[in-house]
């Protein structure tokens, strides 16, 4: 209120009192407004009702690598109002599978379509899920969620697991029959023919260490390649180091065959002239005395160079199988290990040269 033209001291004091009261009231209102704002910021937001959260309720399709599955999610449309469903990925056993974004999204019916496949982003997760299989299928939990978040609540939890197919029963049976058939044929030929025996007269020549080593590595790679293909559908799994390993075993067998062939040519021929000096006695025809005896010994008895290459072949074969079983990949052998195998084979071949004299 403005002051009169000639204000008295009482009017001046009254005006000052009203101004102070107005300022105090304004400050109180500003303070109350600030408190209300701060309380609103600090107060916890009310959690969404459980019925409004997305939840995986059904899974249709075959849960297997390189197959398509249809996932039903309740309240997916409401969740998609504030989130992008294109960023959803499958969760198997609590592990996200990046690179498997939905191929189709139906918000009206809460449906997502996923094509399960191996990518560079999720290869390690798939190897953990499929490695060390205890059977053709294994029970797992299943859900979906953001790759950088947590999975949705799901019906397929620890109490209602679904079966993840590790190996297709049809293709697995066919491959198993073929592998067993090939092994049976090889064992039969090894016992009755010279497929891994030394060349020479007679059907029961001693078993040859070089050919045995070559056969071991061939079947290890053959069976492992088939098993990895059955599980992961991958065909490019043979590393260059494995080619070098096969080359070492093949070179060992070839060198041994050449040395044995040279030794056979140096055997004395029977005399044609009765008056001629009788030749040196012809050594008796060698005969197998059992697989282990033939591999570890020769005409001079048991040899350490043979035992060395035999022992390295067996232990590396066990490591090879364990790596394929656990990691579903062919082990990549280091140059040092290949050099060790080459040195062992070279030592074995070197000890065979004195046998020609």
Percentage of the chain with pLDDT > 90?
A: 46
Structure tokens at 336: 């040092």
Identify the residue with better confidence: 19 or 338: 338
Orientation angle between helical segments 123-130 and 209-232, nearest 10 degrees: 110
| pLDDT winner (highest mean) among 17-26, 210-219, 246-255 | 210-219
Looking at the chain, which runs of residues are DSSP E strands? 55-61, 68-74, 88-92, 95-96, 104-106, 111-115, 137-140, 142-146, 153-154, 162-165, 297-298, 301-302
Structure tokens at 48: 């969404």
pLDDT range class, residue 114, cuts 50, 70, 90: very high
pLDDT one-digit tens code per residue, 48-74: 455 678 999 999 998 999 899 999 999
Nearest to 138 by CA among 64, 50, 37, 88: 64
Asked if residue 271 has pLDDT above 90, the reply is no
pLDDT range class, residue 182, cuts 50, 70, 90: very high
pLDDT given for residue 153 in this prediction: 95
Please tell me whether residue 196 adopts helix, strand or coil conformation. coil
Q: What gap in Å lies between CA 153 and CA 162, rounded to an integer?
A: 15
Percentage of the chain with pLDDT > 70?
A: 82
pLDDT range class, residue 24, cuts 50, 70, 90: confident
| pLDDT winner (highest mean) among 15-29, 141-155, 229-243, 245-259 | 141-155
CB within 8 Å of 99: residues ≥ 6 apart: 89, 117, 119, 120, 121, 122
> What integer best gives the mean pLDDT of the chain?
84
Please name the helix (run of DSSP H) or strand (run of DSSP E) that holds residue 331, with its range, or none.
Answer: none
Range with lowest mean pLDDT among 63-77, 310-324, 334-348: 334-348
- Per-residue pLDDT averaged across 247-252, rounded? 88
pLDDT range class, residue 263, cuts 50, 70, 90: low
Global confidence as pTM: 0.73
pLDDT given for residue 46 in this prediction: 46
pLDDT given for residue 106 in this prediction: 95
pLDDT given for residue 40 in this prediction: 59
């Amino acid at each position: 209120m403005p002051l009169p033209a000639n204000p008295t001291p009482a009017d001046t004091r009254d005006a000052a009192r009203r101004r102070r009261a107005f300022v105090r009231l304004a400050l109180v209102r500003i303070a109350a407004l600030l408190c209300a704002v701060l309380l609103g910021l600090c107060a916890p937001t009310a959690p969404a009702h459980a019925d409004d959260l997305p939840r995986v309720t059904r899974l249709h399709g075959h849960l297997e690598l390189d197959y398509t599955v249809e996932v039903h999610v309740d309240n997916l449309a409401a969740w998609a109002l504030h989130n992008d469903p294109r960023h959803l990925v499958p969760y198997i056993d609590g592990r996200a599978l990046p690179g498997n974004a939905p191929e189709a999204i139906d918000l009206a019916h809460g449906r997502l379509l996923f094509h399960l496949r191996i990518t560079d982003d999720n290869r390690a997760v798939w190897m953990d899920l499929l490695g060390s299989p205890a059977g053709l299928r294994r029970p797992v939990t299943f859900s979906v969620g953001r790759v950088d978040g947590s999975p949705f609540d799901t019906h397929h939890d620890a109490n209602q697991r679904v079966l993840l197919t590790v190996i297709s029963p049809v293709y697995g049976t066919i491959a198993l029959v073929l592998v067993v058939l090939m092994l049976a044929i090889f064992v039969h030929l090894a016992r009755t023919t010279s497929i891994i025996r030394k060349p020479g007269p007679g059907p029961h020549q001693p078993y040859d260490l070089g050919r045995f080593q070559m056969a071991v590595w061939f079947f290890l790679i053959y069976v492992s390649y088939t098993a990895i293909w059955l599980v992961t559908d991958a065909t490019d799994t043979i590393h260059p180091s494995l080619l070098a390993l096969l080359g070492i075993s093949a070179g060992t067998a070839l060198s041994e065959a050449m040395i044995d062939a040279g030794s056979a040519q140096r055997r004395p021929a029977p005399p044609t002239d009765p008056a001629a000096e009788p030749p040196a006695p012809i050594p008796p025809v060698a005969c197998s005395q059992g697989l282990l005896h033939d591999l570890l010994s020769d005409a001079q008895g048991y040899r350490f160079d043979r035992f060395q290459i035999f022992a390295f072949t067996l232990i590396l074969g066990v490591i090879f199988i364990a790596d394929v079983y656990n990691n579903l990949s062919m082990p990549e052998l280091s140059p040092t290990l290949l050099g060790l195998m080459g040195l062992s084979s070279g030592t074995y071949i070197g000890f065979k040269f004195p046998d020609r004299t």
